[in-house]
Amino acid sequence: MDEPDGPHLARDLPDLKVAIIGHTGRGNYGHWLDEAFDGVVGTQVVAVADPDDAGRARVLAKTGASRGYADYRELLDRERPDIAVVASREIGDHHRVVLEVAARGSHVYLEKPVAASPAEVDEMVAACDAAGRHLVVAHPWRGHRAIQEVALPALRSGLIGEPRVGRVFGMGGRHGGNELFIDLAPHFFDLLWQLAGDPLWCQAHVTEHGRTSTVADLRRGDEGMGLVAGDGITAYYAWDRFTAHVESYRGDGREVPYRVDIHGTEGTMSLPGPMTAGPDVWVHPLVNPPLRGDDRWRSLVDDDGLSGDRKWVRAHHRMAAAMARLIRGDAPGLDLVTGRHAGRLLEMAYLAHASHVEGRRVDFPLPTRHNPYNAWR
């Protein structure tokens, strides 16, 4: 594995027992969450739950866990793990599974997005708080050194002057629009939040095949995310001294799914699909630079030669190690995304839904604890 950075756990302490809860064919194992604790010092993956026999056997072999269960509740009752990795991308299952895990006294490492509504997040956070357990949501950009140790410090130090405008492009693919907006936008919102804090308001417009989306376009999104509409969305977010344009459109699946540009008063930083192959942080001295064929673009990080997949796994290892330290009462070494903060990021995404439904800008925090499309008639 890629050795986690930061202080290691004391090796003479009993290992924290880790169990992995997935569901092959229904959300599977997220973005490599079955590898998150692989080799992390002071932890041991002891069991896997998956109702699919073949899927369970595959992950048992992959992780080296000794016991498998078809029912995650039986796993929780028998194994009593210190940490339960709730790995499935099936967002609609997160609320139920996390409540079951918290009731049995385990900490939670959860695939993002956190849940299908802020109301569900409220209940998940309350359950974990009542049990005295941590709810950590797996936002890999928090464990990605190029973002946390290069890009954000450079922005805060004034490398491109004062950041004024953020532009998030793409999020295309065959599920562009609302579905990828809810799925991927929390990465970008967390980056923007680390840079500028809570937004003041959002104004957004949702389209279907280029026309304004209407209530007739409502449908159930993939992976239990609830109601969605449209295959394109443009959202404008405002802070006191910063703005951001966030866009998602359906594509043919071939394009790089996203790019984040931050324009400052003295230059531009571009993050061309962080955690894909190649250097992840670029800067240019112009406020509005050309995208191609300009040798003034320079990388702030070397190409580490890792594929995008391995960058995700390495970020998980760093976050898993930080979570283990946190549980031990040690300094985690990096800031993890808590359930409460993940709920804030979900609200930022749902602001765009609310704005389109109401036909106006909507202030943060979100005025409802539910998906705004639920009330669209």
CA distances to 2, 14, 16, 39, 273 from 10, in Å: 19, 9, 12, 15, 36
Q: What whole-number distance in Å separates Cα of residue 83 and Cα of residue 182?
A: 26
The answer to whether residue 74 is domain-embedded is yes
The answer to whether residue 89 is domain-embedded is yes
The verdict on 302 and 201 lying in the same domain is: yes
The verdict on 332 and 347 lying in the same domain is: no
The verdict on 158 and 284 lying in the same domain is: yes
3-state secondary structure of 344: helix
Q: What whole-number distance in Å separates Cα of residue 344 and Cα of residue 256?
A: 27
Q: Write b or e for each residue in 65-87: b if 16 or more Cβ atoms lie within 10 A of its Cβ, otherwise e.
A: beebbeebeebbeebebbbbbbb
The answer to whether residue 2 is domain-embedded is no
Identify the domain containing residue 129 by its residue range.
Answer: 16-141+313-338
CA distances to 98, 302, 347 from 95, in Å: 5, 40, 16
pLDDT at 41: 95
- The tally of CA atoms less than 13 A away on the side-chain side of residue 302 is 2
> What contacts 43, CB < 8 A, 6 or more positions away?
15, 16, 17, 18, 37, 83, 320, 324
Count, in order, helices (H) and strands (E) of the chain: 9, 19
The verdict on 132 and 208 lying in the same domain is: no
The verdict on 263 and 280 lying in the same domain is: yes
The verdict on 60 and 206 lying in the same domain is: no
The verdict on 96 and 44 lying in the same domain is: yes
The verdict on 129 and 202 lying in the same domain is: no
Q: Which regions of the chain are under pLDDT 70? A: 1-12, 170-176, 252-257
The answer to whether residue 6 is domain-embedded is no
Q: What whole-number distance in Å separates Cα of residue 119 and Cα of residue 133?
A: 19
The CATH number linked to 220 is 3.30.360.10
The verdict on 58 and 205 lying in the same domain is: no
The answer to whether residue 287 is domain-embedded is yes
Please give the tally of structural domains in the chain: 2
pLDDT in tens, 51-107: 999 999 999 999 999 999 999 999 999 999 999 999 999 999 999 999 999 999 999
Q: Do 141 and 135 meet the contact criterion of CB atoms below 8 Å apart? A: no
The answer to whether residue 7 is domain-embedded is no
The CATH number linked to 28 is 3.40.50.720
The answer to whether residue 3 is domain-embedded is no
The answer to whether residue 202 is domain-embedded is yes
pLDDT at 127: 98
pLDDT in tens, 16-60: 999 999 999 999 999 899 999 999 999 999 999 999 999 999 999
Side chain identity at 109, as an amino acid letter? Y
The verdict on 323 and 264 lying in the same domain is: no
The verdict on 148 and 252 lying in the same domain is: yes
The verdict on 130 and 169 lying in the same domain is: no
